[in-house]
Structure 1
Amino acid sequence: MSSVTKESKSNFVSEAIKEFMKFKSEESEKEKNKRPQKRRKLVTEIDDDTNNEDTQICGEFKQKVLNNMNQQLVSRKKINDSFKKNLTDISRSLEEDYSVLKNNTKELEEVTTASIKCLCDDLDKEQTSQISRLDHDLDKEMKSNSSFQISYSKDETVLSALVRFDEEISSCEGSHPVQRLAVTSAELRSIQIEIAEFDGVPSEVTVAKYAKTIHQMFVALDLYKRPMLAAENEDFVANVNRKEMRYLESKYLRIRERDLERESQLLHTQLLRLKALYTNLQMLLDSLWFKKSRPALYLESALQRSQELRNALASVSMRLRAASEYGQNAIRLVEAALRAWKLGSIARSGGERTSSCADACSLLIQARCQERGARRVLCARAAPRAARTVRLTLDYAFTDCLHDHKSKSDDIPIFINGKEICVPKYFTVMQALRRERVSIPSFCYHERLTIAGNCRMCLIEVEGWMKPQIACALPVYKNIKVWTNTKITATAQEAVLEFILVDHPLDCPICDQGGECDLQDLTIKFGNDRTRFTDIHFQGKRAVEDKNLGPLIRTEMTRCIHCTRCIRFASQVCGMDVLGTSGRGGEMLVGTYVDKMFLSELSGNIIDLCPVGSLTAIPYMFKARPWEIRKTNSIDVTDATGTNIVLDHRFNRVLRVLPRENDEINQEWLSDKGRWSIDSLEMQRLVSPMCRNENRLVPVEWDCALKMVATTIKNVSPGKMIAIAGPYCNAETLVVAKDFFNILGCENTFIERNLTHTCGNIDLRTSYSLNIKMCEIAKADKILLVGTNPRFEAPVLNAWIRHAYTHNECDIFVVGPQCEFNYHVNYVGTDLSALSGPNDYLKGAKKPLIFVGIDQLDTPSGGQIMSALYNIASGFKVEPEWGIVNILSREASFTGALEAGWKPGALGAIRAISPNLIVSLGADDIFYKCQPSNDIAVIYIGFQGDKGSECANIVLPGCAYTESGGVFLNMECRSQFALPAITPPGKARYDWKIIRALAEYTGISLFYSDSDTLCCRLAQISPNFVNFDHYQDKPFGELIPYLIKPGSGGGCNLNVPMKELTDYYCSNVYTCNSNTMRQAEKAAKDHKQSKYAVMLSNMDNLIVAEKEVTEYRRQLRAARINNIVRNGLAELHYKKDELKRRQMQINYMDP
């Protein structure tokens, strides 16, 4: 630093004064009164410094002052320029609007007639008569004032001017500036009041300074090395945190204040613009209507009331949206801050701790400001618990990691390979190791099955234990010390693998499991590269006879390593006790007790569970290796559950389908129909456009086919055409088709389902979807099934119901005909009297669920059933998110079509409308029910030839779900996206692109041209379409009972045929074209007629045993609870004979 003379100081002062005078001349009159005081103060301070000879002024300080002044000048100039530019733009736009309005006129008679006609089309039937009288009066008035004339311009009509004004005002009102300005003003006033409370807050406080203070305090108190002392100093730390955080909060509040001021200015400008538009519109209307012919007063009052209601709703919506945004930001910032502090708590150096403290502090303070912003917007106080939670999170954020009270009560500390972690008390060692991503081998363990502990591969060393223990069956306890990388564990795991390989055949080159075999992978990683098997008297490896499990599963029992995964899955998930073990040790065999096939709707999952090649898929046999195929994520469309799948394809062919894990929908299971019906894609495919010529379909080019379709559509009245959506349409096709027909003037868009008696006219999600997450079905305590068998209608959902039955002791009741279930059910009736009478079977339920089949709602008694079910549901007090009544749909496009605005009841519409044109989007079942006459033109858009293409005059080849992908909504109304795996064959094209090209041929311009713009259109119709993988809430469920029209015909039976296993495999056109499904159906029918079907009833025996075990456990638990209540914790006394007999039965039945 260099010394500066008095002369240089005086020169600097004069230069500074000149810069200030120059800046002063450019300021406005308002700022002239504010600037001199600051400027005079700065000059006085500089003069005082010049009088002190010992004061030194550095060159860096001079340069910094000059730079700051220059930056202020530049910023002010930019602000002024932008402000002038905005004013110029506004004035120019107003001049343009005025010039356009000046030229907009038309004859009064035409405008009046067109306006009245539009009103008649939009209003209800009750108002139509009043508007007709108004039209008559206006015509009469026009005749009496025939001399009245208005000049007009040919450039633009008055009607177009009205339309343009309406669109412009609607665009301005889209963001609701009035309501948004009110919210912003309230928040701004609250911030100003809060800032005023920060008296004495220094402006130089920074996050880095605060972090340094906290770090020094921790060092002084020695809290880093002695965490237990943090509890003794909690109050001191909290007080320091409060003080410093209040400092930093003021800075963030001032930043937010400036942002809100800018936003309020923009909103004021927008309001002025909107006001000008309204004034011009009123002038235009006054020029059109004269006093005697203005609309009736009731119309104006109704319009005013609707405007007020819309403004009120917009105000509430604005506040809720702003509060929700604040809350989400606060949660996200708190989570990020806790992660940052956790990183700092394990840092080694003081500098790393300081930086982590700075990051955590900044995030926490921003989170606190966001939480306060939510309260400001809602104009409400914070809830006591929420306020206390936020305060404790901020005040003790730096001591929670050192002295965690929550983990002290919920989790316990354990040591894995010398590292201390905390895990829940109910964890096993295997779960703890997998959560910490510690590599541990296993064959028999599976997180969704019970623990068997028979492969012995997960051996670990536990300190204090003499021998290695299996990790899957060992529960954790406090301070247990586990070692997985010692010599003992490595030797034990190597020995187990050696024993397994003794009898395992060398079939790897011809085994379908090669490349994805757990035994191969674990042998390479944990096995030995040398063999000790040198027995010269070896007579050969063990040979086991293969079992016949059906036409879908191939068995090689010689490869079996006895992990028993297949046995546990069949018994616990499928509910079929058909697999088991016989013998012990080296003589153990896995198979069926008798020669019986394993026929289940989920049987294919045992192939995925098998860790070796003992169970493989017959349809996939010898087709490809895992490293040769490509994988694509998709959605199963064979039912409405929306099961997540993976498509394995090679050379533009889908070879197999595997499940993709999703804990909220399908866990990791997949139905047999979705797994093995994939070969149907190559059967009866439509690969070229065709038109009918002399009762025969002849291939044509796309141009010719589209011209013929366009000509047919133009020659048919919009009221005489109908569109029917098939079961495999994605949301893109449904939306494009709906837009196309609506622009044509046709509203006849239907699905094949007939729900006109229940929810045909109800546009609420709760009326056609599940009102609860699938994963929450496991929490139900009582379930009522009405006219449905979810085992074959929705196998994945049925797995959740069985989970509730086996794990939550759920009682299940059925109203309807008897059928096959894989759990015990209680039949309570077969007609409506079972629903309308006293419902004692659901009495006392805390979380009841009711599932009704979609086939039953198709009947005329569907309205009465729904009304009775909602009457039952009204008697339970449950959480608002817990939807009791749920509809089980069966088609993948059902929920998406109703979400897009399609209507149910295609069959009834055909009979009522008598259409001249039917457009089928892959709908074939409707033509089995209703054969169209020769006078009706049929256009078929689909990917498979069946009844629909046979009846069609023109066929346009579309794509399957594996080729087009798209958005699908499952029965929860959850949106999921499927990726295309292969390209369409021949001349087939995407369905929505076919409809868009057809629109161009008919002279219609749609709003989109590619996938991105179509996605925007989906979001406009329903944001749910693009809110992927999130469960959608179902509001307004309480309105359904008032909207249903039960009709007449009480006391009818619920006699819809229930599905059986023989009906499961080939249930629609798509699965009927699959050779694999036909073989499975034939095997199921043969098995049903075999002698074992009568002699053996393994499932019935299993269900009876499960029911007895559940009932005995309930009685034992009730007896213990009653004795504890009666005698306290004294010695409990039971009825020895009865309870001892039941306990012996339970021990005998338990595996």
Structure 2
Amino acid sequence: MVKVIVDGIPVDVPNGSSVLQACEAAGKEIPRFCYHEKLSVAGNCRMCMVEITGSRKPLVSSCSQPVMNGMQVLTDTEMVRAARRSTMELLLINHPLDCPICDQGGECDLQDQAIGYGRECSRFRDEKRAVTDKYLGPLVRTVMTRCIQCTRCIRFMNEIAGTAELGGINRGTNLEITPFLEEGINTELSGNLIDVCPVGALTAKPTAFRYRSWELKNTDSIDVMDSVGTNITLQVRGSEVLRILPRQNDDVNESWLADKGRFSLDGLKRRRLDRPWIRKEGKLVETSWNEVVQVVSQKLKSTKKERIGVIAGDLCDAESMFALKNLMNDLGVSNLDCRQDGAYYDTSYRGHYVFNSTIAGIEQADALLMIGAFPRQEAPVLNARIRKRWLSLTEQFPIAFIGELIDDPTYKIENLGEDPTLIDSLLRNELAFNEILNNAKRPMIIIGHGALVREDAKLIFEKTLALAHKIGVVTENWNGFNVLHHAAARVAGLDMEFYPKSDSQDARSMVTGGTDLLWLLDADEIDLSKLAADCFVIYQGHHGDQSAKRADIILPGAAYTEKSGTYVNTEGRIQQGNRAILPPGNAKEDWKIISEIAQSMNIDLPYSNLYELRTCLAQSYPVFKEKGVVRNQMSSSINISEKNIEKQSFRAIISDYFLTNSISRASLTMHECSKTRGANSSVKAAE
């Protein structure tokens, strides 16, 4: 630790800290534009000037100046104030006076710091420079005349997103930030450019001129577009969600949010189911809650329990799955499944189906093997963490990949191929990458659903787990065996045993003639083409998507923004989202719908409100007691079948990143992104 005195206040900061960090530790506010906690230091805006006592150069930029023991820093002298006023004056020379129409108004760093640290008037009378706006795609709107060349956007694209598509051209007063090609930027994290921009040069294109920041009400929630469990803030005006922003959580998403979670919000109000429907004479007609509840109750009573099936979808909250499971248990129904894709999981230990190293733990690993997983499409925020570790200067981070490489992963990898028998080669110690894995102190394996949805998934999983134990991926002090999910509801479903036992039907059997009554709880990513024509389908969900078209009864539910729900991310972390708005029309929260049906059947569920439901959930499955904590358990050994792995190549599970669920498919913005960037990039990573 280094002792620094800031305005007479002694503080201890770690070695290598900057003067700016020391000032913040002392509780001093330091203005800045180019500095960002998650990006490299540029030191080019000069707004963070402070005075160093006894230095030959008394004024220094605090973000780029390392601390020294005994250093005395002054943050509010006349010299410092004059320097900040002059810097602000220079920054405002060419900045347009368009605050009344700028979407950044009310939360603009330049606006705030001009008031706090600028002059009352400008001494410059020259004409302002105008800069041509640039095309960055359908999500980010540019007004480049406002740009102050802080280079945050360039550093974000180079360091976090991993697609170096922005840079500066010309020099001096003619400097412009521009994309290298006027074809838009190709990253799933482009919306974060809006967050890092300190002025209004980069704003959200889909919601331009629709709101002011002070009009919005904030509600904390969890993103359900993938399995990362990104912490988000829902910003609402009236009954409409107008903006979704990331919430800081260094254990999960740091301060980033994927584009699908940020911009698919227009899908929340399109193609919505806002009233009950029932099929009569081959056509769906509107009806009342009383009628659909009675019809569902009668159907459940009249159908044999072994011919009733229930499938939970990828966007479900834990409460709705738990309530539906309770109802089915009382009816004696055991055909339950939360796996629309039919993926295989070893549920004997929780550590066999979660991301054990944790997302933050990626930064501790020193080697990585990915099998049937492509994080850039399946979990872009987690992929950014892998890139962060790869860029680390502390030690090298070799990465090997087995599977279909559909795009540049944004970091250098050793592509071993698409053949799953390469796992056997690794077990036999036949590949060059074996030496790296064997010498690593904290090796990590990520197995994805490209490997888990195959017919031989059980064998692949067993051999991958055996490889993990053999090379030291799982030890007393380190657990680097990770399953990467792509569905927000999957881990919660596995935790509460929402899957069939040995004598029950799985999702595939249910939709291929195994049921007379099929209840789909927000399940839209399953093929119903082989479902028997006389099978009675109950669809409970919030969008008129694929499954609703086949339904005989539609129970309108609530989207994740319209209910308080518990979600478990891929690492097994329990998190809760809060309701921001009410469901539209006559739609209701899912667990309340299930409770009403239970009451009509004279089934007494042991809860009448959300608190009681969560209490019952935690009592039934203790893993739900601890919020925000990751506690997993693994076996110490594994038995491997004598069968051989099929030579069929691993294939990517996501064909179009922007259209993976009912909300994103209802979003015009996501469809525009799909058209602009292509359904599935064929660009291969450079060897």
TM-score range, shorter chain: over 0.9
Note the 1:25-40 alignment, pairs <5 A.
none
Deviating more after overlay: 1077-1086 vs 1045-1054:
1045-1054
Counterpart contact for 1:687–1:957, Cα < 8 Å? yes
Larger RCO (CA within 8 A; separation ≥ 6)? 2
Note the 1:230-241 alignment, pairs <5 A.
none
SS at match of 1:606: helix
**How many angstroms apart in 2 are the aligned matches of 1:521 and 1:757?**
53
From 300, 313, 336, the equivalent of 1:726 is: 313
Residue 1013 (str. 1) matches residue 601 (str. 2): no
Residue 413 (str. 1) matches residue 3 (str. 2): yes
Match in the other structure for 2:442: 847
Letter in 1 for 2:571: E
SS at match of 1:722: strand
**How many angstroms apart in 2 are the aligned matches of 1:452 and 1:913?**
63
From 707, 724, 740, the equivalent of 2:327 is: 740
Match in the other structure for 2:213: 626
Residue 887 (str. 1) matches residue 483 (str. 2): yes
Residue 461 (str. 1) matches residue 39 (str. 2): no
CA 1:911–1:456: 2 relative to 1, 3 Å? closer
Match in the other structure for 1:1069: 662
**How many angstroms apart in 1 are the aligned matches of 2:355 and 2:679?**
36
SS at match of 2:141: strand
**How many angstroms apart in 2 are the aligned matches of 1:412 and 1:828?**
46
SS at match of 2:173: helix
From 518, 533, 539, the equivalent of 2:109 is: 518
Note the 1:216-615 alignment, pairs <5 A.
411-465=1-55, 466-533=57-124, 535=125, 538=126, 540-615=127-202
Counterpart contact for 2:231–2:246, Cα < 8 Å? yes
Residue 900 (str. 1) matches residue 507 (str. 2): no
**How many angstroms apart in 1 are the aligned matches of 2:258 and 2:617?**
30
CA 1:489–1:597: 2 relative to 1, 3 Å? same
Match in the other structure for 1:682: 269
Match in the other structure for 1:923: 523
Match in the other structure for 2:547: 948
Counterpart contact for 1:819–1:1059, Cα < 8 Å? no
Counterpart contact for 2:342–2:506, Cα < 8 Å? no
Counterpart contact for 2:243–2:265, Cα < 8 Å? yes
SS at match of 1:1014: helix
**How many angstroms apart in 2 are the aligned matches of 1:885 and 1:814?**
15
SS at match of 1:940: strand
**How many angstroms apart in 2 are the aligned matches of 1:774 and 1:1086?**
27
Counterpart contact for 1:426–1:475, Cα < 8 Å? yes
Counterpart contact for 1:720–1:917, Cα < 8 Å? yes
SS at match of 2:369: strand
Counterpart contact for 2:565–2:577, Cα < 8 Å? yes
How big is each residue's C-alpha offset from its partner over 1:805-860, in whole Å with a ceiling of 9 and x where there is no partner?
11042101011233321111111232233111225412311111111112321111
Counterpart contact for 1:554–1:617, Cα < 8 Å? yes
Counterpart contact for 1:781–1:847, Cα < 8 Å? yes
Counterpart contact for 1:856–1:1054, Cα < 8 Å? no
Equivalent pairs counted in the alignment come to 671
**How many angstroms apart in 2 are the aligned matches of 1:755 and 1:1059?**
15
Letter in 1 for 2:92: L
Counterpart contact for 1:720–1:913, Cα < 8 Å? no
Give the CA deviation at 1:924.
Answer: 1.6
Deviating more after overlay: 830-839 vs 436-445:
830-839
**How many angstroms apart in 2 are the aligned matches of 1:676 and 1:775?**
25
CA 1:797–1:1000: 2 relative to 1, 3 Å? same
**How many angstroms apart in 1 are the aligned matches of 2:122 and 2:268?**
48
How big is each residue's C-alpha offset from its partner over 1:302-359, in whole Å with a ceiling of 9 and x where there is no partner?
xxxxxxxxxxxxxxxxxxxxxxxxxxxxxxxxxxxxxxxxxxxxxxxxxxxxxxxxxx
Letter in 1 for 2:17: F
TM-score by length of 1: 0.57
**How many angstroms apart in 2 are the aligned matches of 1:1087 and 1:613?**
32
From 764, 770, 777, the equivalent of 2:362 is: 777
**How many angstroms apart in 1 are the aligned matches of 2:43 and 2:327?**
61
**How many angstroms apart in 2 are the aligned matches of 1:511 and 1:527?**
20
CA 1:787–1:610: 2 relative to 1, 3 Å? same
Letter in 1 for 2:337: F
Letter in 1 for 2:191: G
**How many angstroms apart in 1 are the aligned matches of 2:417 and 2:572?**
31
Counterpart contact for 1:959–1:988, Cα < 8 Å? yes
Deviating more after overlay: 1080-1089 vs 824-833:
1080-1089
Counterpart contact for 2:343–2:454, Cα < 8 Å? no
SS at match of 1:875: helix
Give the CA deviation at 1:915.
Answer: 1.1
Match in the other structure for 1:1037: 635
Letter in 1 for 2:564: G
From 576, 579, 598, the equivalent of 1:977 is: 576
Counterpart contact for 1:631–1:646, Cα < 8 Å? yes
**How many angstroms apart in 2 are the aligned matches of 1:696 and 1:881?**
60
SS at match of 1:769: coil
Give the CA deviation at 1:758.
Answer: 4.6
SS at match of 1:472: coil
Counterpart contact for 1:445–1:451, Cα < 8 Å? yes
Match in the other structure for 1:1022: 621
Note the 1:1044-1083 alignment, pairs <5 A.
1046=641, 1048-1057=643-652, 1059=654, 1063-1083=656-676
Letter in 2 for 1:871: A
Deviating more after overlay: 593-602 vs 697-706:
593-602
**How many angstroms apart in 1 are the aligned matches of 2:272 and 2:378?**
26
SS at match of 1:989: coil
**How many angstroms apart in 2 are the aligned matches of 1:671 and 1:688?**
31
**How many angstroms apart in 2 are the aligned matches of 1:753 and 1:952?**
17
CA 1:803–1:1077: 2 relative to 1, 3 Å? same
Letter in 2 for 1:946: D
Counterpart contact for 2:134–2:144, Cα < 8 Å? yes
Letter in 1 for 2:19: V
Counterpart contact for 1:445–1:453, Cα < 8 Å? yes
Give the CA deviation at 1:486.
Answer: 0.3
**How many angstroms apart in 2 are the aligned matches of 1:929 and 1:890?**
21
Give the CA deviation at 1:1054.
Answer: 2.9
**How many angstroms apart in 1 are the aligned matches of 2:551 and 2:182?**
48
Match in the other structure for 1:988: 587
Question: Structure 1: which 5+ residue stretches go unaligned?
Answer: 1-410, 1105-1151
Letter in 1 for 2:601: T
Match in the other structure for 2:402: 815
CA 1:1002–1:1008: 2 relative to 1, 3 Å? same
Deviating more after overlay: 1078-1087 vs 675-684:
1078-1087
Give the CA deviation at 1:653.
Answer: 0.2
Percent identity between matched residues is: 37
Match in the other structure for 1:707: 294
Q: Which has the larger radius of gyration?
A: 1
Match in the other structure for 1:379: none
Residue 960 (str. 1) matches residue 559 (str. 2): yes
More helix by share: 1
How big is each residue's C-alpha offset from its partner over 1:584-630, in whole Å with a ceiling of 9 and x where there is no partner?
22121111233231121001101000000000001120111111110
**How many angstroms apart in 2 are the aligned matches of 1:804 and 1:650?**
39
More strand by share: 2
Give the CA deviation at 1:1084.
Answer: 0.8
SS at match of 1:714: helix
How big is each residue's C-alpha offset from its partner over 1:110-142, in whole Å with a ceiling of 9 and x where there is no partner?
xxxxxxxxxxxxxxxxxxxxxxxxxxxxxxxxx
